[in-house]
Structures are given as structure tokens and as C-alpha cells.
């Protein structure tokens, strides 16, 4: 056994003794009490009348008859949590992802830097990171028997342009030929690494997704929800259903919300909401429409006397942020603004 191996064993042994003695593991600036995960929501489905087939699962193994008929659990949500030994926040913080993505959005950034999961753990929150119905470890279900439409996939060009990393028409298959917006905070050298996170999505699963998110809130809240992009509509709807359980909402670049003209805003009167926007929104007609709708919703909520704040990063001197704010080089600076807002709402101990 060489000296390096002996040293590593001593470190591992010492950490093991510390965990055994305290029930916690020290990670960075915080002590972890518990890490775990679960699935929540969904329903049971029975399939019948489908043909069987023989499949060889491993080279050299005999084929097995696969029968797709029977009972299944489908349309659940997956959540992974990290609970602190001494949280400073009054309520757990949930991180909800956007369309065509999963909870990895908030984990380690594509350039290898620490993501918002790590930031908010260090700030003293118990943190829950989830994969919605059809995404990541929430898994899929059969099409068309359960999922009623075929999946669709986001090409890299769409992500580059829609997420405001580069202008429309600026993407190229060759990385060196792509033209990013001047001053962009996205680490463009790691765009292809980011694209590996892309996940197929379905256009017919919103009701199932909402049901699972509502079950998640029922199970785990009271809580604070930080949500990105497409996930915002699910978060708003969950808060409208159970406003007493959602202690605050931070909607980061939200691409959806309930109808601004028909929403009963009084149900959200006691749920403080912060809208967070990046840069270059007015360069893209798509984002002009999105922000106009969101501002109508925010104005309607503010009229009830609710906290309905807006953090437009360029207006406070933070420039160059893309739609993927939590992956930008200055993501900690943005998270610090969110943390400051949460503190002002009285959500820290």
C-alpha cells in the first residue's frame, strides 16, 4: 500500500468517525444531516392486449419473452433532498426545473462550477431538487397507451438562440463558429456540455405533471419554491391550490403563468413572489411576449397588496445574463440577490 493510499484511508476513516459521532457529514460550509430521495404522485395503470416479444438483453444470453401487459405505476415525480443539521431557513427550498430539462439544472454547472443547489445549502436551506413527470429519474411511460403524444426534442440550435446565448441565426455546428451575444455570462465553451442535459418532453402531460407537483407540495411543504422557465406555471398553480403551504415563490425567467385576466389573485395575497429576469430580452420577439404577459400577471397580483417584486438584473447593474441564469458565470451574484430577498420576507431564522 503506497503513502497516498494510506493517507486517503486515514481521511475516509476520520470522516466516518465524525459522521458516527455527530450524525452529520461536513461539506463545505455546512453540515449535512440526511440525504435521500423519493417518488411522489402518479397513478396505477393496467395494460392488456399488447403483443409479447422475445428480447436478448445481454450478448450471449438466451432470449426472454417480454410481456408488456400488466400493472404499472406511472406519472410520478422524483425528488432528491439534502437536509442540514442546523438549517438557517425556516422552510425547505425546492428547486423546480424548466422545459426539456431536469433537476440537474441546479446541480453542478456545465463548466464545473457549483450550482444553485450548493449555493442555497451554504446559505442555510434544506434543499430539494426534483425531476418532473416524464423527466430524468421520474421516468417515462408507454406511448400511446399512457403518454398520448410522441416525445419531441430540443436541438442545440434552439437552445443556443431561445436561451439568448446568441442572436437568432448565430448558431453553427462547429463550436468555434458560433457567435455569442457580446458580454454574455454563459460559459460558451461549455455549451455542448450543457446540451447533454436535454431531455425529451411531451406536449400532452401537463395535467399529470401538475397533479404530481401538487402532491409534492402536499407532502413536503410548507416550503419556498424557486422555479425556472416552463415550471413557473406549475408552481403558480400549486400555490393557487395550496397558498398556505407555499411561503414564497421565486420565478426565474418564467415562460408560463395562469391567465392574467381570470386568476383569483386574492388566493396568492400572502405568498410573496419575486420575478427574476436576465438580459437582452427585447432582442427577441418571443421574450417580448413572455415578459409582457408576466408583467400583466405581476401587476394583477400587486393590486391585492401582495409582495410582487421584480428583479431585472440589467437594471441593478448585472449584465449579460441568459435564460439559464443559474448556469451563467455570475450565478452566485444572482443567487445572492435572491437570498437577500428571501431574508427580507422573514424566511430565515
Long-range contacts of range 66-74, CB-CB < 8 Å, 24 or more positions apart? 68/142, 70/46, 71/44, 71/45, 71/46, 72/44, 72/45, 72/46, 72/47, 72/141, 72/142, 72/146, 73/42, 73/43, 73/44, 73/45, 74/42, 74/43, 74/44, 74/45, 74/141, 74/146
Look at 16 and 263; give whichever has higher pLDDT.
Answer: 263
**pLDDT tens digits along 68-116:** 999 999 999 999 999 999 999 999 999 999 999 999 999 999 999 999 9
Q: Is residue 9 scored above 70 in pLDDT?
A: no
Distance of CA 163 to the CA centre of its chain: 15
Residue burial 215-244, b: 16+ Cβ < 10 Å; e: rest = bbbeebbebbbbbbbbbbbbbbbbbbeeee
Q: Which three cell numbers stand for residue 337?
A: 440577490
Distance of CA 202 to the CA centre of its chain: 17
Q: What percent of the chain has pLDDT over 70?
A: 92
The rounded distance, in Å, linking the Cα atoms of 183 and 205 is 37
pLDDT, average across residues 214-233: 98
C-alpha distances (whole Å) from 271 to each of 128, 225, 301, 329 are 19, 11, 10, 30
Residue 57's pLDDT is 87
CA-closest candidate to residue 148, choices 215, 74, 68? 74
**pLDDT tens digits along 172-212:** 999 999 999 999 999 999 999 999 999 999 999 999 999 99
The rounded distance, in Å, linking the Cα atoms of 272 and 118 is 24
pLDDT, average across residues 22-39: 78
Helix (H, G, I), strand (E, B) or coil at 253: coil
Name the H helices within 62-142.
116-122
> What domains are defined for the chain?
42-75 (no CATH), 79-145+195-344 (3.40.50.1820)
Look at 8 and 347; give whichever has higher pLDDT.
Answer: 347
Helix (H, G, I), strand (E, B) or coil at 336: helix
Residue 28's pLDDT is 60
Residue 22's pLDDT is 42
Residue 23's pLDDT is 54
Residue 20's pLDDT is 38
pLDDT band at 15 (very low <50, low <70, confident <90, very high): very low
Residues contacting 152, CB < 8 A, separation 6+:
200, 201, 202, 203
Residue 240's pLDDT is 98
Q: Are 225 and 96 in contact (CB under 8 A)?
A: yes
**CA quadruple 334, 335, 341, 345: dihedral, nearest 10:** 160
- For the chain, the C-alpha Rg in angstroms (whole number) is 22
Predicted TM-score (pTM) above 0.95: no
DSSP letter, residue 63? P
- H/E element, 35: strand 30-40
Q: Is residue 140 scored above 90 in pLDDT?
A: yes
Amino acid at each position: 500500500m503506497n503513502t497516498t493510499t494510506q493517507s486517503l484511508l486515514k481521511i475516509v476513516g476520520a470522516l466516518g468517525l465524525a459522521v458516527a459521532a455527530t450524525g452529520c457529514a461536513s461539506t463545505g460550509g455546512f453540515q449535512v444531516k440526511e440525504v435521500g430521495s423519493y417518488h411522489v404522485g402518479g397513478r396505477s395503470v393496467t395494460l392488456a392486449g399488447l403483443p409479447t416479444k422475445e428480447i436478448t438483453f445481454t450478448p450471449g444470453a438466451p432470449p426472454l419473452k417480454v410481456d408488456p401487459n400488466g400493472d404499472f405505476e406511472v406519472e410520478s415525480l422524483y425528488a432528491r433532498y439534502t437536509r442540514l443539521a442546523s438549517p438557517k431557513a425556516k422552510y425547505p427550498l425546492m428547486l423546480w426545473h424548466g422545459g426539456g430539462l431536469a433537476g440537474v439544472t441546479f446541480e453542478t454547472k456545465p463548466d464545473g462550477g457549483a450550482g444553485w443547489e450548493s449555493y442555497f445549502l451554504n446559505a442555510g436551506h434544506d434543499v430539494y431538487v426534483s425531476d418532473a413527470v416524464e423527466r430524468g429519474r421520474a421516468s417515462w411511460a408507454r406511448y400511446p397507451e399512457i403518454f398520448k403524444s410522441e416525445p419531441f426534442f430540443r436541438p442545440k440550435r434552439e437552445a443556443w438562440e431561445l436561451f439568448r446565448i446568441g442572436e437568432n441565426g448565430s448558431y453553427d455546428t462547429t463550436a468555434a463558429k458560433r457567435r455569442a451575444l457580446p458580454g454574455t455570462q454563459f460559459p460558451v465553451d461549455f455549451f455542448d456540455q450543457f446540451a447533454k442535459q436535454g431531455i425529451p418532453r411531451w406536449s400532452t402531460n401537463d395535467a399529470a405533471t401538475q397533479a404530481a407537483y401538487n402532491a409534492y407540495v402536499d407532502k413536503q411543504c410548507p416550503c419556498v419554491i424557486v422555479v425556472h422557465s416552463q415550471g413557473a406555471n406549475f408552481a403558480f398553480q400549486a400555490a393557487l391550490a395550496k397558498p398556505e403551504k407555499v411561503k414564497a415563490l421565486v420565478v426565474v425567467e418564467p415562460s408560463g403563468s395562469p391567465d392574467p385576466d381570470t386568476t383569483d389573485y386574492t388566493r396568492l395575497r400572502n405568498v410573496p413572489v419575486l420575478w427574476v429576469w436576465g438580459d437582452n430580452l427585447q432582442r427577441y420577439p418571443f421574450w417580448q411576449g413572455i415578459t409582457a404577459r408576466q408583467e400583466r400577471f405581476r401587476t394583477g397580483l400587486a393590486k391585492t397588496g401582495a409582495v410582487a417584486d421584480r428583479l431585472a438584473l440589467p437594471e441593478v447593474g448585472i449584465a449579460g445574463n441568459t435564460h439559464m441564469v443559474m448556469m451563467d458565470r455570475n450565478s452566485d451574484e444572482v443567487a445572492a440577490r435572491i437570498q437577500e430577498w428571501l431574508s427580507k420576507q422573514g424566511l430565515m431564522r
